[in-house]
Amino acid sequence: MQAAMDITAKYCHKEMEAYGSCVASNPSTWQEKCYELKMKVAQCTSSHPVIQKIRQDCSKQFVEFERCLRENQDQPTSCSPHVARFLGCAETVDLSGVDTNPLPQPS
């Protein structure tokens, strides 16, 4: 998971920072107010092979985490166990054969 976090930070730092700031600033309405920023993070990260592999292998845990966030918009910290399960899964993903440093695609 650290590799995925490093990749996200490396390639999507601006988007992650804006989304995190929005969530922190809007504790009870972040799901609605930060949706566009969330989509920008998703768009930024979705093309990276390592993140694609983690999403594929841990989709169940990630969906459960997102459901928890939707159902607990006023208390996102109550989803900590869901985050832990997702991170635990991500740590076990086999990244052998995955290109962890692809060339950037032209826009």
- pLDDT tens digit string along 13-26? 888 889 989 999 99
Asked whether the predicted pLDDT for residue 1 surpasses 50, the reply is no
CB atoms within 10 A of CB 9: 11
What distance in Å separates the CA atoms of residue 54 and residue 77, rounded to the nearest whole number?
23
Average pLDDT of the residues in 20-40? 93
Asked whether the predicted pLDDT for residue 2 surpasses 60, the reply is no
Asked whether the predicted pLDDT for residue 29 surpasses 90, the reply is yes
DSSP 27-45: TTTHHHHTHHHHHHHHHHH
The answer to whether the pTM exceeds 0.95 is no
Average pLDDT of the residues in 2-23? 78
